[in-house]
Structure 1
Amino acid sequence: MNRIKTEVKEVGVLLRSIPSLTMTLFIVSVITMNLLANKSINLPFSFMALDCGIVVSWLSFLCMDVITKHFGPKAATQASLVAVLVNLGMCLVFFLASKIPGVWGESYVEGSEAIINGALDGTIGGTWYVLFGSTIAFIVSAIVNNYTNSMLGKISNNNSNFKSYAFRSYVSTGIGQFCDNLTFALIVSHQFFGWTLVQCVVCAFTGMIVETLCEVIFSYPGFKILQNWQKNKVGREYFEYMKESSR
């Protein structure tokens, strides 16, 4: 019980230390990523599969990489779990909203109102296996990404320049995204939608490539944010708390 109280207090200090805009973008990206994942992307080959979640999923990993570099992998993982809990809470809100009797504005198509309205309710309300799969996949990928990023930082000769930051971010994001996509595909797509193992692996690899490219594009702004944090000594309360608690 004392350990739980300590962890909760530690997370509280961490959330006060991470700039609110970063944490807000992180949580919003996790929520929207799961909503957008309901829409698949048409691709020219049947063995390839992608969903619209890739539009924002890179932002989640960018936030994790910046938090990992500044606060450490444990802090980034704790922030990820907070984002997961908020997402679960919002999923409950969406589910309850989908059960409220009413009509969606986009369902006003003559002769198809009931079908479209039901489809929109189903999309917003979600299904348990998709939520379960996406939650497990994100937690696994967050742990893999954060600790891989930290490990690469330890073996780097110079952690203060962009080259080092980019290297650890690109590699950890690629590995983390592959784990995320593959875990979700195996839990949900393979079991419930009949995907073959080849489709699961190809989907995971394709998603990894696309989302790592997004990380490449936006990594420099992430690095500048990190430099600003270091310059302004962001997180001083957290570092002092961790130093004191380790004695």
Structure 2
Amino acid sequence: MKEKIKLEFTQFKLLLRSVPGWLTALFVMSVFAMNILANKSISLPVSWLALDCGIIVSWFAFLAMDTVTRRFGPKGATQLSIVAICFNLLFCLIFFACSKIGGIWGESAVEGSENIINNALDNTIGGTWYVVLGSTVAFVASAVINNFTNWGTGRLFRKKSDGAVAYIVTAYVSTAVAQFADNLIFALIVSLNFFGWTILQCVTCALTGMIAELLFEVVFSFLGYKICQKWKKEGVGKEYLDFVASSKIANAEIKATE
């Protein structure tokens, strides 16, 4: 057991070193930013579509997971997603602490409305426990769904698994399924219990939100494909992939001796 844990930890550290730093940084930032931006709804000309500003960056989180899954596998992408959500929770805690510190926000300097605006800004920055809980559970679940759906769909393309068609199809399918799950889980945890939504409203919101977010994937999926091709050409992550292959052999040997 100790040897297995040691192998897993070594593999995890190697993953963090192997995934390009710029992608990890942007991934973490997008996960945190989409939760902050979700506090602002988007005014739309139709009543049946409900979107928030989190959609502006949420697409990148799923694009990042697709590219990491394609190169490093679903396990690596899921581990990176957990790292991102841990950083998100850390910054949520920091922002919550800052919201409790006495003081005046610069934007609240409006005569007669200082306290109202200041409290509103504190509440926005500090967040609400059930929103943080809902978004965390929803993202972790959708990350697992996205990564393994992407990997599973990719296995259907045996002859041209590295082709553009294979990447685009797997990205569309995994993003659609995972985004729907993400929206639905959040709605069932938060909107249903705290905002008085019905089940139908939760499902409708999840579906329409998924369609809107999928449009971003359609626009940027080719960028993800080119990144994967560049990584493969440059041998990005080769050390990690070689270690994973050797770890499977080592785990099999450990299991045989138990």
> How high is the TM-score relative to the length of structure 2?
0.92
Query: 1:50 is paired with a residue of what secondary structure?
Result: coil
User: Deviation string for 1:64-111 (max 9, x for gaps)?
Assistant: 000001110011000000001010001111011111111111111111
1:37 maps to what in 2? Answer: 38
- Partner amino acid, structure 1, of 2:160: N
Query: Could you tell me whether the CA contact under 8 Å between 2:49 and 2:209 is conserved in 1?
Result: no
1:64 maps to what in 2? Answer: 65
2:145 maps to what in 1? Answer: 144
2:226 maps to what in 1? Answer: 224
1:189 maps to what in 2? Answer: 191
1:13-24 superposed matches below 5 A: 13-24=14-25
2:114 maps to what in 1? Answer: 113
Query: Could you tell me whether the CA contact under 8 Å between 1:181 and 1:203 is conserved in 2?
Result: yes
Query: 1:72 is paired with a residue of what secondary structure?
Result: helix
Post-superposition shift, 1:48? 3.2
2:256 maps to what in 1? Answer: none
Query: Could you tell me whether the CA contact under 8 Å between 2:172 and 2:218 is conserved in 1?
Result: yes
Task: Please say if 1:93 is aligned against 2:115.
Answer: no
Taking the aligned partners of 1:43 and 1:8, their CA distance within structure 2 comes to 47
- Partner amino acid, structure 2, of 1:97: C
2:172 maps to what in 1? Answer: 170
Report how many aligned residue pairs link the two structures: 247
Query: Could you tell me whether the CA contact under 8 Å between 1:47 and 1:199 is conserved in 2?
Result: no
- Partner amino acid, structure 2, of 1:104: W
- Structure 2 unaligned regions, length at least 5: 250-258
Query: 2:22 is paired with a residue of what secondary structure?
Result: helix
- Structure 1 vs Structure 2: percent identity of aligned residues? 57
Query: Could you tell me whether the CA contact under 8 Å between 1:141 and 1:176 is conserved in 2?
Result: yes
User: Deviation string for 1:146-203 (max 9, x for gaps)?
Assistant: 0000011101141121111100001110110000000000000110011111211111
1:159 maps to what in 2? Answer: 161
CA RMSD of aligned residues (A): 1.3
Taking the aligned partners of 1:194 and 1:45, their CA distance within structure 2 comes to 21
Post-superposition shift, 1:45? 4.1
1:237 maps to what in 2? Answer: 239
Post-superposition shift, 1:5? 4.4
Post-superposition shift, 1:46? 3.9
Query: 1:40 is paired with a residue of what secondary structure?
Result: coil
Taking the aligned partners of 1:61 and 1:203, their CA distance within structure 2 comes to 19
Query: 2:155 is paired with a residue of what secondary structure?
Result: helix
Post-superposition shift, 1:43? 3.0
Which structure is larger by alpha-carbon Rg, 1 or 2?
2
Taking the aligned partners of 1:225 and 1:45, their CA distance within structure 2 comes to 36
Post-superposition shift, 1:8? 2.9
Taking the aligned partners of 2:197 and 2:6, their CA distance within structure 1 comes to 43
Taking the aligned partners of 2:38 and 2:101, their CA distance within structure 1 comes to 23
